[in-house]
Amino acid sequence: MQDFVFSLTSEEKKYLRDLAFDTIAEGLGLESGRADLTPASERMEEKLGAFVTLKKNGQLRGCIGNVVGDAPLRKTVGKMAASAAFEDPRFPPVTKREFGELEIEISILSPLEEVSDLEAIVPGRHGLLIRNAWRSGLLLPQVATEWGWDRETFLDHTCQKAGLPGNCWQEPQTQVFWFQAEVF
């Protein structure tokens, strides 16, 4: 896998964070009070996948993403922010009361590539998508770092995220894809 060369300026990151907060505020019927949301640069029109992770008091509160870049980045981040806040089936929708306590982490994804050598996977550097028949599971690169996982543990947990046995990555019919992310 080539190193992910996409990187954002501090202004572009601020724009995307403000956009995510504004989208959630709007969904709650609140006034955002944030800066002008004119796109920070033409790069906001690039088609890249993105995930938006919401945390409250350091605990996961919602996380939704789109792996494939099929819309401009600014639209994808806005849509994923709303989905993480209001549509993550693991959590009730975010409320007005907790809005001020939310922390937002945004991950911009490189395109997926099938892994040809599983030994080349570096936990914390690569995110994984595992697919077997109609099931698939994805874990962002930072998950392995947060939990201190080695390569095999990361692969096992990605299989489990797909609802498959932890060692499914060893089966020939299982496809393993990797990607990198700019996380802020």
Sequence-separated contacts (24+) of 32-39 with Cβ below 8 Å: 39/15, 39/74
Per-residue pLDDT reduced to its tens digit, 107-161:
999 889 999 999 999 999 999 999 999 999 999 999 999 999 999 999 999 999 9
Domain spans, the chain:
10-109, 113-183
For 113-183, CATH gives 3.30.1490.150
CATH (one of 3.40.50.150, 3.30.565.10, 3.30.700.20, 3.40.50.970) for 10-109: 3.30.700.20
pLDDT score recorded for residue 161: 95
pLDDT > 90? residue 3: no
pLDDT > 60? residue 67: yes
* Residues in Cβ contact with 43 at an 8 Å cutoff, skipping those fewer than 6 apart: 8, 12, 73
Q: Which of 39-43, 47-51, 94-98, 108-112 has the lowest average pLDDT? A: 39-43
Q: Is 29 left (phi over 0), alpha (psi -120 to 50) or beta?
A: left
Per-residue pLDDT reduced to its tens digit, 91-120:
999 999 999 999 999 999 988 999 999 999
8 A C-beta contact, residue 48 and residue 71: no
